[in-house]
Amino acid sequence: MTTSLDLLKQTGTVVVSDSGDFESIDVYKPQDATTNPSLILAAANKPGYSRLIDAAVKIGKTKGGNLEQQTDAAIDRLLVEFGKEILAIIPGRVSTEVDARLSFDKEGTKAKAKELIALYESVGIKKERVLIKIAATWEGIQAARELERDDNIHCNLTLLFGFGQAVACAEAGVTLISPFVGRILDWYKKSTGKTYEGDADPGVQSVKKIFNYYKQHGYNTIVMGASFRNIGEIKALAGVDFLTIAPALLEELKNSTAPVPKKLDARAAAQADPLPKVTFVDNEAEFRWALLQDSMAFDKLHEGIKKFAEDGETLKELLRQKLRA
C-alpha cells in the first residue's frame, strides 16, 4: 500500500523528522532530523532518555569549575548525545541548535557552533552530518556566513518568517533555511480572525515565494518548510526541497492513502512571475528596517527566540539539579 507519506517523498521533497524523541523516528524513514531546545526538553522528560541525561551530567562533573560551567558543559553534551542517537537511525544530517540567548551575539554563536562540532567529532560524528541551527537574526546570519565560508560548518537558519531574512541567508551562502509555516499562520489567524487553508495559507505563500526567488536567482540554499499545523500545509508544499514534520503529522500521512500531487517544481519556479533581485546581507540598516516593517516576522522571530531560551533554561535547571545531587 502506497501511503501519502510515500507519495510526498515521490514528489522529490526530502522528508525530515522534527523531533528529539528518536525512538519515534525510525518508522517514518526520514532522511534527516531536526531538534530544538523545546523538542529536547520534551524528550528529556521521558523516562526512556534518562541514560542520556546521566551521561551528560557525568561529563559535566568531570569538567570541574563552578556549577554554571558544569551545567553549560552538560547541556552541550546532552544535545550531542541526542544528535548521536538520532544519527544512528537516519542516513542524513541532524540539526542541533545553539543557545538561543546567543541570537544577538555573532562571535558567541560562532564559538558555540565550533564547540558543538568539536563535541560531535569527539564521539565519532563527522561535521558533514551536522547542521548547526541558528536564529535568523542579523547577527545569526553573519555568524553562519563566516562559519560556512571559513570553517566549512553547515548551518540551518531557523525562526525564519520574513522575506528579507530568507534573501540575506541565501546571499550568506547558508546550507539550509527553516521558514516556520504554522507560526506564520498562527499570527495571521490571531490578527485577522480569519481561517486559511491550502494555497491561501500565508505560511504556505511565504515558502512558495522564497522557493521561487531562490530558483529564479540560482541560490543553492535548501528551503525546508517547518512548524506545520496540519497536513494541508504539508501537501500544499509538496515538491519543495525539504519539509521537517512532527511525528504526529508523519503518522497522519503514513495512515492515509490520499494523493499528494507535486505543487512546487524548481524548473517551474525559475519560469514563474519574475521576482526582482534584492540584497540585504551587507546592509544591516536595510535588513533591520525590512524586518521591522514586517510585523509578523518581527513579532514571531523575537517570540520564538524567547521561547527557545526559556525551554533551554528549563533544560539547564534539570541538569543543574542533577549536578547538585
Beta bridge partners of 156: 133, 176
Q: With H, G, I as helix, E, B as strand and everything else as coil, classify residue 217.
A: coil
C-alpha–C-alpha distance, residues 324 and 202, integer Å: 47
Is there a catalytic annotation at residue 307? no
Measured CA to CA in angstroms, residue 191 lies from 70, 73, 111, 186, 212 at distances of 43, 41, 38, 9, 27
152 burial via Cβ count (<10 Å: 0-12, 13-18, 19+): exposed
Do residues 36 and 308 lie in contact, with contact meaning Cβ atoms separated by under 8 Å? yes
Give, for 289, the enclosing helix (H) or strand (E).
Answer: helix 284-293
Amino acid in the structure at residue 213: Y
User: Using alpha carbons only, what angle is made at residue 134 by residues 129 and 136, rounded to the nearest 5 degrees?
Assistant: 135
Measured CA to CA in angstroms, residue 184 lies from 44, 98, 179, 305 at distances of 28, 23, 9, 15
Catalytic residue among 9, 110, 127, 133: 133
Q: Which positions are annotated as active-site residues?
A: 133
